[in-house]
A = this chain, B = another copy of it.
Amino acid sequence: MTFMNMPNWLKQRVFLTPDRRALVFENKTWTFAEMYNETLKKASVLSLSGIKKGDFCGVLAANRPDMIFTIQALQQIGAVAVMLNSRLTAKEIEWQLRDANASHLLFDSLHEKKASAISGIPSISISSNSTDEQFTPRDLFSMGEICSIMYTSGTTGRPKGVIQTYGNHYASVTASALNLGLHVDDSWLCTVPLFHISGYSILMKSVLYGMEVRLVEKFDASVINESLQNGEATIISVVSAMLSNMINRLSGTYSPRFRCMLLGGGPAPVSILEQCKQKNIPVFQTYGMTETSSQIVTLAPEYTMEKLGSVGKPLFPCAVKIDGENEGEILVSGPNVTTGYLNRQEANESSFQDGWFRTGDIGRLDADGFLYVLDRRSDLIISGGENIYPAEIESVLTSHHAIREAGVAGVADEKWGSVPAAFYVANHPVTSEELAAFCIEKMARYKVPAYFIETAELPRNASNKLMRRELAARWRDDHAY
């Protein structure tokens, strides 16, 4: 196999189609040649700052062109991008940087304050710097090399760095093309965060496909609707909260050029799917995670209603199976699946088995082989596209002197799909406001429970394991109407 090396991706793209449009942001556009030029300038600055091949560099930035040039510059250098969720607190970010043994933290002007609160790691602004030094890009990318790291949590609440190699990204990008097709005039609207795999993978597609990306810093349903109605974009990645928002505000329908609404991060309400059908909006529901470098299972639009609630079938080079008779843990395999967690021997031993990755999610396959996700791994709460792990919040709550024990579960929310609700047994009286203020100090805002409910005891099974599903059921019973 000579599949281990490939020409430097961005350099190759510029060699092949220099004048194709690569990026649109606000009123500015960049061709691939122009993007490469910006990338090499950035690489030169980073290189002069001491970043070298093999270094792990935190990236803390907003969805702006500078972030893209920085991500590409790290690839040119051969340094690994540790993509940081900008909603995390400085403490949470610092923990991840240390865990990844990061050499530098790169931040943009919007995140200067948060970056300055992180100590002990040299930080470099990516917003205002330039040099006349020429940077010489490398010729080859090695497919086994680590390209990016993104942190996800698990049952223990301790985040793990997911390794995404160049080979993982290449496999994901080509498998997605086999699934969604590839048109020379495609334009992908990116309003999901670039620090998540949903956004980062759009950048990889842009370079490998030679495709335009329309980057949006902040999601605004009306602005997005306009872009899809005037035919500027042909594909968009959304989570269900975004889709609901867009459909609720939509008058008329989208341009006939618009060909793919790629919907990830949990199921959409049926009423929204029905409206999409009426308006001929092609919704592709998907299932994927950081560990699969983007989508791994997708439902073609023609099955939206017939297979309501299903996330579809695997991408061509991938496979899905259930560990169990009927329902059970979802196992996936494919060349896009991570090679493992960074420095987590134990997690790697338990998550990978005979070439299969254990997702931790619970699902079932119907007779036709369509996958239904019944329960997210480790009682994962997906809130507006962000993953929230109950165990992480519980450990913060129990560090409060008034709380004896705590259990967190996701409860339905009209806007975000789901939000965390905290149930606790108290040592001393404490108000919800006090607990919320305590949490805000220690975790990203989106993780802070929307509700705090005092209870006499938490539901536990025979082996004393907390049953978070019982908590969610209790909430539903109390709020049924």
Chain A residues within 8 Å of B, Cβ to Cβ? 1-3, 5-7, 12-13, 15-16, 143-144, 165, 167, 170-171, 174, 177-178, 181-184, 208-210, 313-314, 316-319, 333-335, 337, 339, 355, 369
Contact = CB atoms under 8 A, between A and B. Distances in A.
Given A3-B3, A167-B1, A178 B177 contact: yes
Contacts of A15: 313, 369
A335 B182 contact: no
A7 B143 CA distance: 21
Contacts of A16: 313-314, 316
Contact of A335 (B2, B316, B333, B339): B2
B3 A171 contact: yes
Listed residue (A1, A143, A177, A355) with the most chain B CB atoms within 10 angstroms of its CB: A1
A397 to B, nearest CB: 38
A170 B178 CA distance: 11
Contacts of A339: 1-2
Number of copies: 2
Given A2-B334, A335-B1, A355-B2, A319 B7 contact: yes
Nearest to A312: B16
A3 B316 contact: no
Contacts of A170: 317
Given A12-B316, A178-B208, 17 more contacts: A1-B165, A2-B333, A2-B334, A2-B355, A3-B167, A3-B171, A7-B314, A7-B316, A13-B316, A15-B369, A16-B316, A174-B174, A174-B178, A178-B210, A181-B181, A182-B182, A183-B183
Contacts of A182: 177-178, 181-182
A321 to B, nearest CB: 11
A171 B6 CA distance: 12
B369 A317 contact: no
A12 B178 CA distance: 13
9 contacts: A1-B167, A1-B335, A2-B355, A5-B333, A7-B316, A16-B316, A174-B177, A181-B182, A182-B182
Nearest to A143: B1
A178 B209 contact: yes
Nearest to A139: B319
A2 B171 CA distance: 10
B181 A335 contact: no
Contacts of A313: 15-16
A144 B316 contact: no
The 9 A-B residue pairs with the shortest CB-CB distance, nearest first, are A3-B335, A174-B174, A182-B182, A181-B182, A6-B317, A7-B319, A181-B184, A16-B313, A177-B177
Contacts of A167: 1, 3
A371 to B, nearest CB: 12
A83 B210 CA distance: 35
Contacts of A319: 7
Contacts of A13: 316
A144 B2 CA distance: 10
Contacts of A1: 143-144, 165, 167, 335, 339
A273 B6 CA distance: 33
A333 B15 CA distance: 16
Contacts of A143: 1, 3
A294 to B, nearest CB: 16
Nearest to A18: B368
Contacts of A12: 316
Contacts of A335: 1-3, 6
Given A208-B316, A319-B7, A181 B183 contact: yes
